[in-house]
Structure 1
């Protein structure tokens, strides 16, 4: 039976209030969960944005969480449910997410380069500054031309 969960923010509040009585690093198929003890309660730390148990891939990272984040030097380890042969959790969306991040980085670099070229062009005089009143006049002329062409097609 899966233990009830507690969200990370609540756990941090319990740490700040010095309300934790202890912790258990609980072996699970494919990793380790952390149970926090407070009052008469024992709850599993939940994954972000979910009510499922957070699973650390190895004992060292789970222990580091208990020691560094919860501030507990002593805690229990329960390996009775741990199955090191269990299939590791895979994130099929990782490759796609990384590709999109790479594309976004390339787009950002290109855009910043274009902006810098424009700024440099203004500084060295190769790009002419168009003031608002001139831009407005050009836009009105272009709009009138487009409306004229649209009207000519309707005949």
Structure 2
């Protein structure tokens, strides 16, 4: 038999037309894939965006999916079932999250390096932290934010000087 792929929408249309001869859940380690037989062709149900076979972590979830789309019975192929072989949940997402975390740590480090502590004429406990202006702004929004921060720091310093009688 030829093996092809099928997506969820096409599968539901085949089921509505009564063209599905059988459905088979195939074990792959501790996960499950689904193969549909329509006519003389086996069709592997594909994931929406990845272009790979859709994977279910539990057989119960696969059974519920089949009931929801209108199939009441299916075969189970246990030849490759191995509950000790744990699959990665989302290796693509795991790598993306690792890269994002590293980029965030790098950004935080750069941000900490740019902070300069300036001491006020008041007491050291009232020291104000200001960010040193950087010449390379990515866009006008960054400039506006930087200007607003600087103005706020100036106003804050004036307010603190008015409140502390020792400042005069």
- Give TM class, smaller chain: 0.5 to 0.7
Deviation at 1:37, TM superposition (A): 1.1
Decide which structure has greater strand share: 2
Identify if the C-alpha distance between structure 1 residues 50 and 91 changes in structure 2 by more than 3 Å, giving closer, same or farther: closer
Q: What is aligned with 1:53?
A: 53
Contact 1:30–1:84 under 8 Å retained in 2: yes
1:7 Cα offset (Å): 1.4
Q: Structure 1: how far apart are the matches of 2:26 and 2:77?
A: 5
> Displacement of 1:59 after TM fit?
0.8
| Matched-pair contact (CA < 8 Å) for 2:15–2:71 | no
Number of residue pairs matched by the alignment: 95
Aligned twin of 1:15: 15
**What is the RMSD computed on CA atoms of the aligned residues?**
2.3
Question: Shift of the alpha carbon at 1:50?
Answer: 3.0
Name the CA distance, whole Å, in 1 between partners of 2:89 and 2:11: 27
What 5-or-longer segments of structure 1 have no aligned partner? 97-155
**Bigger relative contact order (CA 8 A; separation at least 6):** 1
Residue of structure 1 in register with 2:79 after alignment: 80
Secondary structure of the equivalent of 2:21? strand
Where does residue 44 of structure 2 map in the other structure?
A: 44
Deviations 1:14-61 (A, max 9, x none): 122121111001111230011111111111100112331111001101
The question of whether the paired residues in 1 share the 8 Å contact of 2:4 and 2:41 is answered with no
With normalisation by structure 1, the TM-score equals 0.54
CA drift at 1:10: 1.1
Aligned equivalent of 1:90: 89
**After the TM superposition, which parts of structure 1 deviate over 4 Å for at least 4 consecutive aligned residues?**
none
TM-score (norm: length of structure 2): 0.50
**1:91 Cα offset (Å):** 3.0
Asked if structure 2 preserves the Cα contact closer than 8 Å seen for 1:30 and 1:89, the reply is: no
